[in-house]
A and B are shown apart, each in its own frame.
Chain A
C-alpha cells in the first residue's frame, strides 16, 4: 500500500503540477497508467512496469481491459507471482483471467487457506500458462490433505502438461525453465506421495525418474536416502549420501546428510564408523555453527546485509560458510529473486540509454524500487534460511551426541552383561540392487551421470544379525 502511494506520488509529483493547474479525472489517470504500461511492454521494460501494473490494478479495482491482462500475464510469469501477492484480495477477486486466480491462490495458500486456494486454482483455464503450476499446487494441497490418489492424479497431469508446454517452447524461452522445474517438482512430489504412503519401493522408482541435472535433484537425493533407510537398506542409504561428497554437490550443506549417515552406521552396528562421522561432523561444523550464530547475532535487522552476503558468496574465504551461503543462493526461491535483480539491473542500463524526460525518471524510480524490493526479499529469506541452518546444525550436533552416547551405552552394556558387541565386515553379497541402479565401484571419482546410484557393501555388525 505504501509503495503504491509512494509510486503514485512520484507520478503525481511530476503530473501533480498538472493537477495543480488542472485537476485530472480518475479515468484520465487510468489512461496515463495504461499508456505507461503499454509503453513499458512495448519497450520490454517488464521489471520497471511492475510498480505501474500494481498501482494500475489498485486504482482500477481489478477491472481492466483484456490487453492489460496480457501484459500482466507476461509480467507475472517473468518476475514471479510473489511480487504481486501483496495486492488486496478484493482487487484480485475482481480481476478477470487466470493470472488473478493464480496470484489469489498463491496468496490463499501462503495464508494456509487451502480450500480457498483450491477453489481459485480450479478456476484456472487449461489453456493458461499458469495451468501446469496450478496443477502442482492442487497436487500439493491434496497431498497435504492426505488425498494421495487425487494428489497423484494432479501430479501426473502436472508432469504431462508441463512436458507438453516445454515441448511447445524454445529451450531459451524464459518460461521453459520454469516448466522444467515445475515438472521435476511434480515428479518428486509423486515420489513423495508414495513415500508418505510408505510405498517405498514405488517411491524409489519414481525418484530414479528425476533427471540429475534438475535443480530439485539434490534435495530429492536425501529423500531417497531416507526412503532406503526406512526400507532398512542402510547400505543404499549410505550410497545415496556419499553422493553429497561430490564436488558438484558440496554446496548442499544439509546437516541431515551427516545425521542420516551416522544413523545408518548405527543401524549396521558399525560403531567406529558412527564415531568417525560424529567426530568429523563436530570437527567440521562446530566452529561454523558458532560463526553463523555470531553473524545472526550481529545483524539482527539488516536485510540488505544478508542479500550482500548471498550475492558475494563466491568471494568468501571461509569455505564452509561459503558452501552454506552457496546452498542458499542456489535454492529455487532465492534463485528466482536473484535472477530478477540481475535482469532488472540489465533493464536499468537500457533505461539509462533512452534520453531524458519524465518517463525516464519514472522508469528509473520504478526499477530502483523494484531492485530494492527484490534485495530486501532475498535478505529476509536468506536470513531465515541461515537461521534455519544454524538451528539444523545445533539439532544435528545433538543428534550426533545422542548417537555417540548410544554407541557408548551399547559398548558399556556389552561389558556389563558380557555380550558380544561387533562382528566382522562382509562383502559384495550385501548389495541390494534393482534394475534401475547399476553397480558402481567406489573409486573416489564422481561423474555427474553416476551420482546417487552407487551402493555400499557394508555388512551389519550387529551381533544378532545373520
Chain B
C-alpha cells in the first residue's frame, strides 16, 4: 500500500466527464488534503523518507496540471484582442508555482537520496513536469534518465518509454516513436493500450506506413469496444477515413464507412474536407470526384460541387472552378441550396471575379493579351451567373465589367462601361453605383498618356459630366484642382485666373486651396513678368476677393516688398538718395510692413543720414532701428552702431552718443562680445561729459546683468564719485559712498572722498557729522590696508592727525612734571620725564609708519621740541641753597644727560627732513618753531584718479 503510485491518475485528468469544474475543485480539495497528509507523514519519518518526498512531488504535479486546465480555460475565455495584450504568464501563475514546487521536491529528493531505488519514477515525474513547463528538451533528458534507471521490462520503464514515444512523435521523429510504442505494446496490454496504439498508428501514418497504420486503427477500434480499455473509437472513426484516403484506398475507406451504417458520401466529403484542411488538395479532390460518382442526390452533389469549387479555388484552376460553378448553377434550377451554400457559392464567384480582376491588373499576366482577354471573358461569365443569383443587383454588372476592363488597362472600354453603368444607375437612383462609376471614370482619366493614349479625348467630357453631376462636392473640388493643374502645366495664366475666380466662388471657405492656386498664379505672373496683373491680384487679395490665410497674405506682401526693396537698392546704387529715402520711408511707414523690413528700412535710413552728416536724423533713425531690430540682427550690426556712437561723441553729441551706446548695450547685453565693455565705457564717458548723473547711475545695474568686467564698475563708480564731488553735492556723495561699499576695488577712493566730506563738515563746522565720517575714513583706510591698496595722501594726513592728539597730550604731560629739589625728588622727577620722553618717541614712530607727510612733520616737530624742552629745563635748573661745589658737581652730572638729549633732538630733526625729502611729502607745514616745509602745492583742486596713492 505504501508504495502504491498514483502516477496513472496524474495523467488522466482529461478523462473528466460532465460538471468538470465541480469535479476539478473537488479533486483539488482532495489533493490539498493529500499534501497535508503527506507532510504529516514526512514528519513521522523526520523528512528522511524518499518515497514520501516522491509522493509529495507527484501531488504537486497533479495539482499543477488541474490548476493549469482551469487557468487555461480562463485564459481562453478572454477576447482575442485582450488575449493579445495581456501577459500569458500572468494567467498561469498558480500552476507554474506548483510545477516549480514539484520540480524542487523531486530534485531535492534525487540530491538527498542518490541511491533511491525508484529514481526512475522521479525522473519520470521531472520529465512530465518539464513538459508542463513547455521545455521538451529537458523533458526528453529526464525521460531518457527515467528509462535508463528503470528495471528492464518494469512498468516504470514502459511508462517512460511511452512518454518518450509521445515526445518523439511531437518532435516528428516518428521512427523513434514507433520503436518505443511497438516495444511496449507487445509487453503490456493495460487500459491505455488503445491510446498508445492509436498514437502508434498515427506514427506509422506519418511515415506513410499506411497498411500498418490502418491495421492498428482497426485493432484500436475493436478493443475500444471493451470496457477494460480506454475508448478511442471516436478518434478512430474520425481518422481512419483519412488514412484510407491518404493511402489511396478510397474504396476500402468507403467500405469501412459503410460498416458504420452511415451515408458514406457524407463521410467521403468529411474526409475530403479533412484532407483539404491538411492542405492535401489532390487527395481531397480525388475523394470528391469519387464521391461525385457515387452520389445520387442533388443535395449531396451540391455539397460535393461546393467542396470542389473550394478546392479549385485553392488550386487556382479557374476554368474548372467556372465549370463547376456552371454545373452548380444548373443544379440550382431544380434544387434550392441552403442559405450557407448559396452564400458560399456567391462568395466563391465574387472571390474568383476578384482574383481574376487582380490577375488582369497584374503586370505578369499582361504580357499576353489573349490570356487577359480570356480572363476577362471568364469574369463576364461569372458576372452573368452572379446576375442571376443576385437579381436585385443586375445593374451592377456593367460596373464590374468596367472595373475589369479598367484592370486590364482597357480604359476606353472601361469608361464606356462606367458611363453605361452611370446612366443605368441614374435611372434606378442607385447613388452608390453612380458614385463608383464616376470615380472609376475619373480614375481612368487620371492614367498617364502612355497607358491611355487617347485620354485627352475623354478628359473634358468626363470632367464636365462630373461637374454637371456634382459641382460642390469634395470630388468636384478635386476636379477643379485637376483642371487648374492642367492649366498651370500649360502656364495659361488667363485660364488659371478664371478657374481661381470660379473656385473662389464655389468654395469660398477653402482657404488652403485658394492659397495654393494664388501662389501658383503669382509664380506664373512673376515668370511672365506680368507685374500689372500681379499688382491687380495683390489688390484683389487685399479686397478679400480671394481668401488666403493672413500668414500667407503677409508672406505675399513680403515678397511684394522684396521686389520694392530691390528697386530702392538699385536707386541707392545709382546715388538717387532722395528716391531711396522716400522708398524706405514708404516701407517704414506701411502698416503691413514686417518688423524685419521696417528695421531694415530704419537702419538704412540711419546709414543714409550718417552719410549725409545729419546728426540728429542719424541719431533718430539709429534709435528707431535699435528699437525694432531683433537682438540677433542688432548683434550683426553692432560695429555700425559703435561707429555711429563714436561719430556722435566726436561731434560732442554726448547725450545722443551716450543714449545710443546705452541702448546698444541693452540689446547686446547677453551676447558674448568685448564690444559690450566699449559701449559701456562710451556710455559712462558720454553721460559724465554730459553731466547726466542719473543716467550714469542707471548704468550700474547693467554691469551685473550684462556680465561686464569689474573694471567697468570701478570706472563707473569713480566717475559718479567725481561728478558728485565736482558738483559739490556732498550729501549725495555721502549716500553714494554708502551704496557702493560692496565695490572693494574702490575702497581707497571711498576713503579719499570720505576725507573730503570730513573736511567739508569741519570747514562748515558741522561737528556732529565728524565722528561718523572719521569712522568711515578709518573703516575704508583699514580695508584698503588689508587689501594692500595704496590710499591717497589726504587720507593718510587725516589718519595721522587723528593720532596726533595723544602725542600732544603726552608732550603737555612732560611739561607739567616740574623739576625741584631735594635731590631725591629731583632724581625721581627727572627719571619720570625721561620715561615719558621714551613713550613720546614710540608714539611718534607709530605716526611715522602711517606715511602721512603732514603727520610725520608734526610728530617729529613735537618730538624734537619735547627733547629740547627737557634738555633746556635740566640745563636751567639750579639747586637752591647748595654749595657751589655741589652745584658744580650737579651741573656736570646734568650735562651728561643734556648732551645726549640735544643730540637725539638734532638727530630726529635731521631724520624728519630726510623723510620729507625722500618721500616728497607734499604737505604744507607750518612749524611752531621752525619752517620745515618746502615744495608745497597750495589748494590743489584737480583730482586725477590716476595719481591716487602716489
**Is the CB–CB distance between B6 and A409 below 8 Å?**
yes
**Is the CB–CB distance between B40 and A401 below 8 Å?**
yes
**Is the CB–CB distance between A394 and B13 below 8 Å?**
no
Question: How distant is A281 from chain B, measured CB to nearest CB, in Å?
Answer: 11
Q: Does B80 contact A (CB under 8 A)?
A: no
Q: Which residues of A contact B55 (CB under 8 A)?
A: 405
**Is the CB–CB distance between B37 and A401 below 8 Å?**
yes
Name the CB-closest residue of A to B40: A401
Question: How distant is A395 from chain B, measured CB to nearest CB, in Å?
Answer: 8
Binary per-residue interface labels of chain A (399-419) against chain B in the complex, 1 for a CB within 8 Å, 0 otherwise: 001111110110111011110
Question: How distant is B279 from chain A, measured CB to nearest CB, in Å?
Answer: 38
B40: contacting residue among A282, A408, A409, CB under 8 A: A282
**Is the CB–CB distance between B26 and A415 below 8 Å?**
yes
A404: contacting residue among B17, B23, B37, CB under 8 A: B37
Name the CB-closest residue of B to A395: B44
B30: contacting residue among A394, A397, A398, A411, CB under 8 A: A411
Question: How distant is A441 from chain B, measured CB to nearest CB, in Å?
Answer: 34
**Is the CB–CB distance between B12 and A416 below 8 Å?**
yes
A402 to B41 alpha-carbon distance, docked (Å): 8
Q: Which residues of B contact A401 (CB under 8 A)?
A: 37-38, 40-41, 44
A394: contacting residue among B12, B38, B44, CB under 8 A: B44
Q: Which residues of A contact B2 (CB under 8 A)?
A: 402
Known: A401-B40, A409-B4, A409-B6. A416 touches B13 (CB 8 A): yes
Q: Does B9 contact A (CB under 8 A)?
A: yes
Q: Which residues of B contact A408 (CB under 8 A)?
A: 30, 33-34, 37
A397 to B45 alpha-carbon distance, docked (Å): 10
A418: contacting residue among B1, B17, B38, B41, CB under 8 A: B17
**Is the CB–CB distance between A405 and B44 below 8 Å?**
no
Secondary structure class of chain B's binding surface, majority of residues: helix
Q: Which residues of B contact A397 (CB under 8 A)?
A: 40-41, 44
Q: Does B15 contact A (CB under 8 A)?
A: yes
Q: Which residues of A contact B17 (CB under 8 A)?
A: 418
**Is the CB–CB distance between B41 and A413 below 8 Å?**
no
Interface range for A: 10 to 19
A59 to B232 alpha-carbon distance, docked (Å): 89
Q: Which residues of A contact B23 (CB under 8 A)?
A: 415
Binary per-residue interface labels of chain A (363-404) against chain B in the complex, 1 for a CB within 8 Å, 0 otherwise: 000000000000000000000000000000010011001111
Q: Which residues of A contact B27 (CB under 8 A)?
A: 412, 415-416
Question: How distant is A412 from chain B, measured CB to nearest CB, in Å?
Answer: 5
Question: How distant is B5 from chain A, measured CB to nearest CB, in Å?
Answer: 10
A403 to B40 alpha-carbon distance, docked (Å): 13
Q: Which residues of A contact B33 (CB under 8 A)?
A: 408
Most chain B beta carbons < 10 A, residue from A412, A413, A418: A412
A327 to B788 alpha-carbon distance, docked (Å): 112
A11 to B6 alpha-carbon distance, docked (Å): 72
**Is the CB–CB distance between A405 and B9 below 8 Å?**
no
Q: Does B331 contact A (CB under 8 A)?
A: no
Name the CB-closest residue of B to A396: B44
A405: contacting residue among B15, B41, B45, CB under 8 A: B41
**Is the CB–CB distance between B26 and A405 below 8 Å?**
no
Name the CB-closest residue of A to B18: A418
**Is the CB–CB distance between A412 and B41 below 8 Å?**
no
Q: Which residues of A contact B714 (CB under 8 A)?
A: none
**Is the CB–CB distance between A398 and B9 below 8 Å?**
no
A397 to B49 alpha-carbon distance, docked (Å): 14
Name the CB-closest residue of A to B15: A416
Question: How distant is B443 from chain A, measured CB to nearest CB, in Å?
Answer: 67
Q: Which residues of A contact B12 (CB under 8 A)?
A: 416-417
Secondary structure class of chain A's binding surface, majority of residues: helix
Query: Using a CB-CB cutoff of 8 Å, which residues 33-66 of chain B contact chain A?
Result: 33-34, 37-38, 40-41, 44-45, 55
A332 to B210 alpha-carbon distance, docked (Å): 79
**Is the CB–CB distance between A405 and B13 below 8 Å?**
no
Q: Which residues of A contact B45 (CB under 8 A)?
A: 398
Q: Does B442 contact A (CB under 8 A)?
A: no
Q: Does B31 contact A (CB under 8 A)?
A: yes
Q: Which residues of B contact A416 (CB under 8 A)?
A: 9, 12-13, 15-16, 27
Question: How distant is A9 from chain B, measured CB to nearest CB, in Å?
Answer: 48
Question: How distant is B63 from chain A, measured CB to nearest CB, in Å?
Answer: 11
Question: How distant is B60 from chain A, measured CB to nearest CB, in Å?
Answer: 15
Name the CB-closest residue of A to B9: A416
Q: Which residues of A contact B6 (CB under 8 A)?
A: 409, 412
A92 to B55 alpha-carbon distance, docked (Å): 57
A408 to B38 alpha-carbon distance, docked (Å): 11
**Is the CB–CB distance between A415 and B34 below 8 Å?**
no
Name the CB-closest residue of B to A410: B30
A322 to B2 alpha-carbon distance, docked (Å): 32
A401 to B35 alpha-carbon distance, docked (Å): 11
Known: A282-B40, A398-B44, A405-B34. A412 touches B9 (CB 8 A): yes
Q: Which residues of B contact A282 (CB under 8 A)?
A: 40
Q: Which residues of B contact A418 (CB under 8 A)?
A: 15, 17
A412 to B28 alpha-carbon distance, docked (Å): 9
Question: How distant is B930 from chain A, measured CB to nearest CB, in Å?
Answer: 121
Most chain A beta carbons < 10 A, residue from B9, B12, B13, B55: B9
Question: How distant is A80 from chain B, measured CB to nearest CB, in Å?
Answer: 38
A412 to B7 alpha-carbon distance, docked (Å): 12
Question: How distant is A405 from chain B, measured CB to nearest CB, in Å?
Answer: 5
**Is the CB–CB distance between B44 and A402 below 8 Å?**
no
**Is the CB–CB distance between A405 and B30 below 8 Å?**
no
A406: contacting residue among B1, B9, B16, CB under 8 A: B1
A409 to B44 alpha-carbon distance, docked (Å): 20
A406 to B44 alpha-carbon distance, docked (Å): 17
Q: Which residues of B contact A405 (CB under 8 A)?
A: 34, 37-38, 41, 55
Q: Which residues of A contact B34 (CB under 8 A)?
A: 405, 408-409, 412
Question: How distant is A278 from chain B, measured CB to nearest CB, in Å?
Answer: 9
Q: Which residues of B contact A404 (CB under 8 A)?
A: 37
Q: Which residues of B contact A411 (CB under 8 A)?
A: 30
Name the CB-closest residue of B to A403: B1
Binary per-residue interface labels of chain A (256-276) against chain B in the complex, 1 for a CB within 8 Å, 0 otherwise: 000000000000000000000
Q: Which residues of B contact A398 (CB under 8 A)?
A: 41, 44-45
Known: A397-B44, A406-B1. A413 touches B9 (CB 8 A): yes
Q: Which residues of B contact A413 (CB under 8 A)?
A: 9
A394 to B44 alpha-carbon distance, docked (Å): 6
Question: How distant is A462 from chain B, measured CB to nearest CB, in Å?
Answer: 16
Most chain B beta carbons < 10 A, residue from A397, A405, A413, A418: A405
Question: How distant is B743 from chain A, measured CB to nearest CB, in Å?
Answer: 91
Question: How distant is B326 from chain A, measured CB to nearest CB, in Å?
Answer: 55
Q: Which residues of A contact B41 (CB under 8 A)?
A: 397-398, 401-402, 405
Name the CB-closest residue of B to A398: B44
Question: How distant is A256 from chain B, measured CB to nearest CB, in Å?
Answer: 16
A415: contacting residue among B1, B30, B40, CB under 8 A: B30
A406 to B9 alpha-carbon distance, docked (Å): 13
Binary per-residue interface labels of chain B (745-781) against chain A in the complex, 1 for a CB within 8 Å, 0 otherwise: 0000000000000000000000000000000000000
Question: How distant is A99 from chain B, measured CB to nearest CB, in Å?
Answer: 48
A411 to B38 alpha-carbon distance, docked (Å): 16
Question: How distant is B629 from chain A, measured CB to nearest CB, in Å?
Answer: 93
A415 to B27 alpha-carbon distance, docked (Å): 7
Q: Which residues of B contact A409 (CB under 8 A)?
A: 4, 6, 9, 34
A411 to B30 alpha-carbon distance, docked (Å): 8
A366 to B31 alpha-carbon distance, docked (Å): 65
Binary per-residue interface labels of chain B (518-544) against chain A in the complex, 1 for a CB within 8 Å, 0 otherwise: 000000000000000000000000000
Q: Which residues of A contact B15 (CB under 8 A)?
A: 416-418
Supply 9 further A-B pairs (C-beta < 8 A) apart from A405-B55, A418-B15: A397-B40, A397-B41, A404-B37, A405-B37, A405-B38, A409-B4, A409-B6, A412-B31, A416-B16
Chain A to chain B: the 6 pairs with minimum beta-carbon distance, closest first: A401-B41, A397-B44, A412-B30, A408-B34, A398-B44, A404-B37
User: What are 11 inter-chain pairs, A to B, with CB distance below 8 A?
Assistant: A397-B44, A401-B38, A403-B1, A412-B9, A413-B9, A415-B23, A415-B27, A416-B9, A416-B15, A416-B16, A418-B15
**A residues within 8 Å of B by Cβ?**
282, 394, 397-398, 401-406, 408-409, 411-413, 415-418
